[in-house]
Each structure stands twice: as structure tokens, then as C-alpha cells.
Structure 1
Amino acid sequence: MTAEQAKPFVAPCHDLDIRAPFRWLKSGWQDFRAALGLSLAWGVFCWLISTLVTALAWKTGGAILLLSFFSGFVFVAPLLAFGMYSVSRQLCLGNKPGLLQTLRAARRPFTNSLVFALVLLVIFLLWARAGTMVHIFFPSTGEVKLEDLFLYLGVGSAVGAVFASICFMASVFSLPFIANRDVDVITAVVSSVNAVLRNRKTMFLWAVLVAFFTAVGFVTALVGFIVIIPLLGYATWHGYREALDVTGWDVLPQSQQGH
């Protein structure tokens, strides 16, 4: 039996207590402060990208396209934080992370991260298609009744919640796994979903916290994302380390990475 065949299909996961998400945020904030310049630089980059996309959405499609962008942000945010995993990784080893080092580390799993991005794109397109179908519930008569409007909003929110949940379960631990270990996308995604389902209450709390910070980012006209995106990226890394046992997979070559 080869080493590849001996690898499990799913990474073993640990039981997480309800306070775990707050530990991740605390550790993430410590990483943010330890690599302040790099964290702010990445945060500003993400803010500029978000601002540019927002401006283009408003200019080309108005409020409807802008709302679609805000709703679809959940599919893009995990990829925006991808570079932060290398920073936390180096800090865990006692090293001082640098920009070039971080970019090189983020480039190594490029193929797998690209495949995962395509998976998120497919989910997003399905969500967008489902969103257009929800419009059949929008009141079309001249007089809009309150109960009809509530039905439309309820169905739309339910559909959005389903796709957001799928995206969350698939990405929350898989991206740090891909960034750190020699693992295929399917194994990483299945391991992430399994860990979420095994720790429903804890991961629901983490999802609520992520949604809260995302809302803060939008309320602050995206400026808050300068801090929020790196913070959540670092926190996610610490969550991955606590949730999954990935010792069965090799560390990516030419990197000094810890579990």
C-alpha cells in the first residue's frame, strides 16, 4: 500500500467546545498585532478591491446589482483571506512573516486554490440563478400587500441561507487545509463539512460571528474590512488547527509550516 493510498478520505476532527470561536478571535487578534504592517497592507488591498467592485456594480447595474454583490460577498470572502493563513503559520513557528514570503506561500497551492475558486463560482452561479427564480414571489400587482412582501423576503432569505450555509461548510476549514498541506480539494472540502456537522453548535456560533463582522464591514462603508478580513483569516487558521488532525498529509514542499 502506497503512502497516498494510506491517507484517509476525511481528516479526523476534534470536538470543539462552545467557547472555541472566541479563542480563535483572540489568537487572530494577537496575530494581527504581531504582523501589523502586513495585516494592514493586506486589509487595504482587500478594501480597494471591494470598493472598486462596489463602484462598478453601482455604475453598471444600480442598486439591484449592488445588492447582488453584497449578497455574493460570502462566496468571495474566504478567498480574500487566503494570504493570511501563511502569516499565522509563520507566527506559530516563531518566524517573522514578510510580504514576499507570504506571497510565495500563497502561490504554492495555486492549482488547488484555483479549483476551489471554480467550485465557489459554480455555487455562486447556482445561487444567482435561484435568486432570479425567487422573483416570481415578488408582488406584481399595483397594490403590494405586506404579507406578499414578507413571503418574497422570506423565500429569498431562505434560499440565500441555504447557499451561504453550503459555502460556509465547504470553505471554513478547507482553505487553510489546502494552504498548509498536500491535500486534494475534495478531501479538504469533505473534511471541512464533516468538522462543521460534528460541531454544529460551535460552528453555528462561528458563522454568526462571521456574519456580524461582515455586517460591520458593510455598515462602515467597507472601511472596516481593512481590519476584519485579516482578523477573520487569522482566526480561521487557528480554528482549522484546533478542529482538524491533518498529520496524515505532508506539509507543502519548500515551506516551513506548522500544523
Structure 2
Amino acid sequence: MVTSIPVVESSLTTPRVRLVSFDQPWEWLAAGWKDLWRAPVASIPYGLLFVVMGYVLVYLVESSFQYALALTTGFLLAGPFLAMGLYDISRRLEAGQPATLGRALTAWRRNVLPIALFGILIGILMIIWARLSTLLFALIIAGQSTTLDTSTAQLFFSGSGLTFLIVFTLVGAVIAAAVFTISVVSIPMMLDRKVDFITAVLTSITAVKANPAPMALWAGLIVIFTGIGLVTFYLGLAVTLPLIGHASWHAYKDLVEDNDLEQQPL
């Protein structure tokens, strides 16, 4: 018997969140892998957009290492929102509907206002993270060169560089954990149902609180696969991000019951 809990005890309109087993994230990955190869013509080009985006961002800020580092790691913050089209591909595959790149790129139209509000929130967090990482860099490695060509040696072979990496990682982990908590369920939920921004975020928070161990594993897997994509000079993102995106749809379907809130017409 599947155990579930309400998001808000006193509300009749919020969904119920299921309790899942610790190893459930591996099943989400397996389901995501199947979706990736059921619709490769839509999924792989969608992933390639992340590759192009990565190269453009690095090109724009290549003379400022701290911004390049912040924007690169920012994939972990913006990824859940940018992967919305991948959720839609999995949703369509599940419903037996045609899944195309064009439909994936316009998936936001299914629930415009709540999705737009979440996009604004992610944009604000990205700006805060970029400014904060620049401030940390200036305080810890003040007065040193910040070009991409010279900063790698400074970071890994100097005391101030290692200090910066430790602080940068710890602060980034806190922000990434907060974004993960509010987005892991909310974005696919807003895409799937007629649900408002607040309800979706509360549902996501409840899902994480109710399943701390499996959600910690899931967050770790997301970091690992995103990291693989980044260390392969962004090329790996063409596969790893679609895999994570499709798997995230299955995570949402497992974590949130689908009989409490009205779903949007297909």
C-alpha cells in the first residue's frame, strides 16, 4: 500500500504527496533513459540548445573568470526551469501523443502566469548568485588576474584560490539546495495541471520534506550528471540534461498523486 500525506492539512484543494523508497531515483533515471530514446529527434536537439547556451555564456564573459564560473554552475539553478520542454515530451509520450521539438519549446503556454512567475524567481536567484560569487571572488582573490587562461592555476595551487573554492562550493550548495526544494516537483506540476505558483511550490517543499533520503539521492544524481555534461566542455549536456529532464517528470508523477487536482485538457 502506498503511503501519502497532504500538502496542507486544512486544504481540500492541494494534492497529496507520496512517500517513496530510497532507491526510487534509479527507477526515474531508467524511465528517463527510455523516454530519451523514444523521442530522440526532440530530446537530443533540446539538449543541444544547452550546449550552445553554455558556449555563448562563456564567450560573453571569458575575460571575467568569476562570471564564467558563476554562470556555468548556474546551470544547476536554472536547469529545472529550462528543462520544461523535456517534461512536456515525457508527458506527451505518457499520453500517447506526438512529441516534437516545436511543442517542447512552447510548453510554457499550458500555464503561462504561474510558469512566468517561477521563471522570474529563477532569474532573480541567478542574478543574486552571479553577484554573490563575484563578491566572494573579489574578497578572497582580490587584485589577482581573473582571465580564464590564468585563473585555474590560481584556484587549485594557491591558498586563496582553495579558500575561494571551498566557500564558493558551500554557498552554492545552500542556494542550489533551496532551488531544488522549491522546483523539483513544482515546475512539472505547473506544466501538467491547472495549479497556481504557491500550491506548486508548497507541494515541492512537502515532497522533499517527506522523502529526505531519496530526494537527497536524486539531488546528488542531478549534480553528478550535470557535472559530467559540464566537464565534457558542455557537449555531454546534449544527453545528460535530457536524461535528467525526462527522469524528473517521472519523479513528479511518483511523488504527487494525480487524483486531487484537476489536470489541464491535453
With structure 2 as the length reference, what TM-score do the two structures score?
Answer: 0.83
Aligned length: 245
Q: Within 5 A, what are the aligned runs for 1:138-149?
A: 138=140
Quote how far apart the aligned CAs of 1:149 are: 5.6
Quick one: higher RCO (CA 8 Å, sep 6+), 1 or 2? 1
* 1:42 match: 46
Q: CA RMSD in A?
A: 2.5
Counterpart Cα distance in 2 of 1:75 and 1:103: 19
Counterpart Cα distance in 2 of 1:65 and 1:89: 35
Q: Equivalent pairs: percent with the same residue?
A: 31
* 2:187 match: 175
Q: Which moved more, 1:106-115 or 1:189-198?
A: 106-115
Counterpart Cα distance in 1 of 2:175 and 2:121: 13
Quote how far apart the aligned CAs of 1:246 are: 3.7
* 1:63 match: 65
* 2:87 match: 85
Contact preservation (8 Å) 1:24, 1:235: yes
- Structure 2: runs of 5 or more not aligned: 1-10, 145-156
Quote how far apart the aligned CAs of 1:152 are: 4.1
Quote how far apart the aligned CAs of 1:136 are: 7.2
Quote how far apart the aligned CAs of 1:156 are: 2.7
Cα distance change, pair 174–141 in 1 and its aligned pair in 2 (3 A): closer
Quote how far apart the aligned CAs of 1:208 are: 0.8
* 2:177 match: 165
Q: Residue 125 of structure 1 aligns to a residue in which SS?
A: helix
Q: Residue 109 of structure 1 aligns to a residue in which SS?
A: helix
- Structure 1: runs of 5 or more not aligned: none
Contact preservation (8 Å) 2:182, 2:202: yes
Contact preservation (8 Å) 2:19, 2:210: yes
Deviations 1:209-244 (A, max 9, x none): 111111111111101111111111100000000001
* 2:13 match: 7
Counterpart Cα distance in 2 of 1:149 and 1:98: 45
AA aligned to 1:79 is F
Counterpart Cα distance in 1 of 2:237 and 2:138: 34
Cα distance change, pair 131–49 in 1 and its aligned pair in 2 (3 A): closer
